[in-house]
Amino acid sequence: MDTTANSALFPTYSKYPINLVKGEGTRLWDDKGREYLDFMSGLAACNLGHVPGKVKKRLQEQLERVWHVSNLFQIPDQEKLAQMLAAHSCADLVFFCNSGAEANEAAIKCARRYHQRVLKNGRFEIITFEKSFHGRTLATLTATGQDKVKDGFFPLPEGFAYAPYNDIRAVRDLITDKTAAVMLELVQGESGVHPAECEFVTGLSELCKENGLLLIVDEVQTGLGRTGKLFAYEHYGIEPDIVTLAKGLASGFPIGAMMGKQKLRDAFSAGSHASTFGGAPLASAAGLATLETMLEERLFERAERMGAYAIQRLTDQLRRYSVIQAVRGLGLLIGIECREPVAPIICELQRHGLLVLPGGSHVIRFMPSLYVSKEEIDRAVDIICTVLISSGFFV
């Protein structure tokens, strides 16, 4: 990791000593000309790979017209993107912002305002889950079920309660007359790639309906094809009241979205929430081109096929290594659980030309482009095997 002390940047990131200067598809190159196989995808943001052609063309065209006008004016591509998201989801309305944390912040605000201003019942509490991750704003880090992100930021906002993941009884026990919503990731990626159990999710959906609660699904990482469906909630046969998106929505260009049911319209009335840059012309152009490509080429179906292949290949090849405990995932969001901390393994994989991401301290996350080929998956698995053998983990 880079420990340079003379940088003008706040040291909020432990940066790898690699300067990436060019990208194409599933490959990246550094400033020394070295090629890497990218299974990080910009933290699951580059679902179409690096510099996808249609998105690049649309951005170049928009750069020649107008960059920014603010949301006080009509933005045609913003409206088109909202219409397309609504047409291909269970949502009716969309609010655009700049990131996943902002999308989740908007979801929390919308849920509270719906109960307080529309239903007028005064409810405000949100139930979330242990080991979840929802963002770094004060509200979203409070919603996050991990103490490490909260250290030094007290006092935190009130109004959050936490249940063990996949435990419907624990959720039921937390519901009070103050509970407004339940918020969850359908795959907990940051803490180690843990998919929710189907029975739990369907039960949770029914529990919310029975108690008049909103169901918020955080699809910041899982949304836009990553899990083998356009949205991860489709795997479970449910319809959330609110869905949040960000990472994969604009091929690495900053954007976030909160999507909601028609009944929430009056909760987010004029002046209730805003974002200066949310859904600006450049971001909307990139998002529209990304979603069009995703739908035209049905890349979520490709992600389902390639994800199944990758999980099978990883399971078959890694069972021989003492350090490997489990392989799990959904689509092309895959976790390799190890019995040892993975940070040294990840650094060694980088030296062999493979970029991957940790999921907690003991899990390696595989998140390649949805265009990834079987040959690229095979190459990545071969690199992992080579590193594990050289590290002495072969049995």
What is the per-residue pLDDT across 62-120, written as a single tens digit (0 to 9) for each? 999 999 999 999 999 999 999 999 999 999 999 999 999 999 999 999 999 999 999 99
- Do 103 and 184 sit in the same domain of this protein? yes
Distances (CA, A) of 38 to 198, 347, 361: 31, 14, 20
Distances (CA, A) of 235 to 222, 330, 347: 11, 10, 34
φ, ψ for residue 354, nearest 5 deg: -125, 125
Domain for residue 210, yes or no? yes
- Do 305 and 284 sit in the same domain of this protein? no
> In terms of DSSP bridges, do strands 363-366 and 333-338 run parallel, antiparallel, or are they unpaired?
antiparallel
Reported confidence tier of residue 391, pLDDT bands at 50, 70, 90: confident
Provide the CATH number for the domain around residue 171: 3.40.640.10
R_g of the chain, CA atoms, integer Å: 21
Average pLDDT over residues 336-365: 96
Domain for residue 4, yes or no? no
Q: Give residue 388's pLDDT.
A: 93
Q: Which domain holds residue 341?
A: 20-52+298-390
Structural domains in the chain (count): 2
- Do 193 and 242 sit in the same domain of this protein? yes
C-beta separation of 227 from 194 below 8 A: no
- Do 30 and 59 sit in the same domain of this protein? no
Q: Give the tens place of pLDDT for each residue, 116-152.
A: 999 999 999 999 999 999 999 999 999 999 999 999 9
Percent of the chain with pLDDT over 70: 98
- Do 191 and 235 sit in the same domain of this protein? yes
- Do 91 and 204 sit in the same domain of this protein? yes
- Do 223 and 308 sit in the same domain of this protein? no
Domain for residue 15, yes or no? no
Query: Quick one: DSSP state of residue 130?
Result: B
- Do 247 and 351 sit in the same domain of this protein? no
Burial of 122 (0-12, 13-18, 19+ CB in 10 A): exposed
CA 72, 74, 77, 79 dihedral sign is positive
| Cβ neighbours for 338, distance < 8 A, ≥ 6 positions apart | 323, 324, 325, 345, 362, 363, 364
Look at residues 262, 281, 296 and tell me which one is the last residue of a structural domain: 296
C-beta separation of 17 from 32 below 8 A: no
Domain for residue 9, yes or no? no
Reported confidence tier of residue 2, pLDDT bands at 50, 70, 90: very low
Look at residues 250, 270, 296 and tell me which one is the last residue of a structural domain: 296
Q: Give residue 5's pLDDT.
A: 74
C-beta separation of 54 from 292 below 8 A: yes
Q: Give residue 69's pLDDT.
A: 97
CB atoms within 10 A of CB 74: 8
- Do 309 and 287 sit in the same domain of this protein? no
- Do 252 and 203 sit in the same domain of this protein? yes
Q: How far apart are the first and last CA of the chain?
A: 30
pLDDT at 390 over 90: no
Name the average pLDDT for the chain. Answer: 96
pLDDT at 1 over 60: no
Residue spans of alpha helices (H) in 4-99: 41-44, 53-63, 76-87
- Do 46 and 60 sit in the same domain of this protein? no
Domain for residue 76, yes or no? yes
CA 351, 35, 45, 293 dihedral sign is negative
Provide the CATH number for the domain around residue 344: 3.90.1150.10
Retrieve residue 357's tokens: 């991401």
Percent of the chain with pLDDT over 90: 96
Nearest to 47 by CA among 220, 181, 242: 220
SS3 category, 260:
strand
Strands (E) located in 176-270: 179-184, 187-188, 194-195, 214-218, 242-245, 256-260
> In terms of DSSP bridges, do strands 214-218 and 27-30 run parallel, antiparallel, or are they unpaired?
unpaired
SS3 category, 301:
helix
Q: DSSP assignment of 143-191, as one string?
A: HSB-GGGTTT-PSPPS-EEEE-TT-HHHHHHH--TTEEEEEE-SEETTT
Domain for residue 272, yes or no? yes
CA 15, 16, 17, 18 dihedral sign is negative
Higher per-residue pLDDT: 393 or 208: 208
Q: Give residue 394's pLDDT.
A: 61
Domain for residue 116, yes or no? yes
CB atoms within 10 A of CB 129: 25
Q: Give residue 395's pLDDT.
A: 59
Domain for residue 11, yes or no? no
Look at residues 296, 316, 341 and tell me which one is the last residue of a structural domain: 296
- Do 231 and 325 sit in the same domain of this protein? no
